[in-house]
Amino acid sequence: MPASRFEIGQIVRIRNVIATRHAGQLGRILELKPAQRGTSTLDKYIVMLSSGVQKEFWSIQLEENSDGA
């Protein structure tokens, strides 16, 4: 099984790849839901946004935070 792109506890930025009102926001990875077919590009992540809201995102909707936060 391929390695996941992100780790639990990692800070990520929400991308605007798939239309989302959360684009540009930062969040912390809480949980990983690996893809059933074993491809990490289809992994889903539960993210706690800086606003305190938890949302689920596909791997392609997330990127590493480059701000160092």
The string of pLDDT tens digits covering residues 4-57 is 789 999 999 999 887 678 999 999 999 999 877 766 667 899 999 988 999 999
- Give domain status of residue 30, yes or no: yes
- Give domain status of residue 29, yes or no: yes
**Cα 22 to Cα 52: distance, rounded to the nearest angstrom:** 12
For 56, the domain range is 11-63
Number of compact structural domains in the chain? 1
- Give domain status of residue 17, yes or no: yes
Q: What is the pLDDT of residue 39?
A: 65
* Residue 25 CB-half CA count within 13 A: 17
- Give domain status of residue 68, yes or no: no
**Cα 25 to Cα 65: distance, rounded to the nearest angstrom:** 10
Q: What is the pLDDT of residue 26?
A: 95
- Give domain status of residue 44, yes or no: yes
Any idea what the CATH number is for the domain that residue 32 is in?
2.30.30
**Cα 7 to Cα 26: distance, rounded to the nearest angstrom:** 15
- Give domain status of residue 31, yes or no: yes
